[in-house]
Amino acid sequence: MSGDVVAEASVVDPVHEHIAWDLAERGWNVTDAYLEPALIAGLVSGSRALLQAGAFRPAGVGRGDALKLRPEVRSDQVLWLDPAGQDGAQAGYLQRSVGVNNERGGVARTQGE
């Protein structure tokens, strides 16, 4: 039929939709078996190696110019995932998390934002 417009249906991943809803409404989410065991093992192994190499930094409180190190408030260490310098496990995690950002209509936050 000429003149008919065919709309392309978007594919909605119900798991990502649920996670996005929880994050938007509650600010947190727990999803069982979201990551495959092999990916988790790779993230753990890579994180331990990066920790041993001194790549983690003390966590701060606040954002931007207001960021301060306050060990009495936060004594943990953090490592921002860098899409340009990621290993295989980090790439897998970031690829998996893109679905959540797509469902939220947002953009993945990276270091410096």
Task: Tokens for 36, please give them.
Answer: 């495959």
Q: How many CB atoms lie within 10 A of CB 58?
A: 12
Full-model pTM: 0.66
Q: Picking from 41-45, 54-58, 66-70, 89-93, which range would have the lowest pLDDT averaged per residue?
A: 89-93
Give tens-digit pLDDT for 95-110.
Answer: 888 767 666 554 334 3
Q: Where on the phi/psi map is residue 54: left (φ > 0), alpha (ψ -120 to 50), or beta?
A: left
CA 61, 91, 36, 109 torsion-angle sign: positive
Q: What is the pLDDT of residue 74?
A: 95
Output the pLDDT for position 2.
46
pLDDT at 11: 59
Whether the pLDDT of residue 7 is over 60: the answer is no
Half-sphere exposure for 50 (CA within 13 Å, toward CB): 20
Q: Is the pLDDT assigned to residue 41 strictly greater than 90?
A: yes
In DSSP terms, 106 is beta-bridged to: none
Residue 101's pLDDT is 66
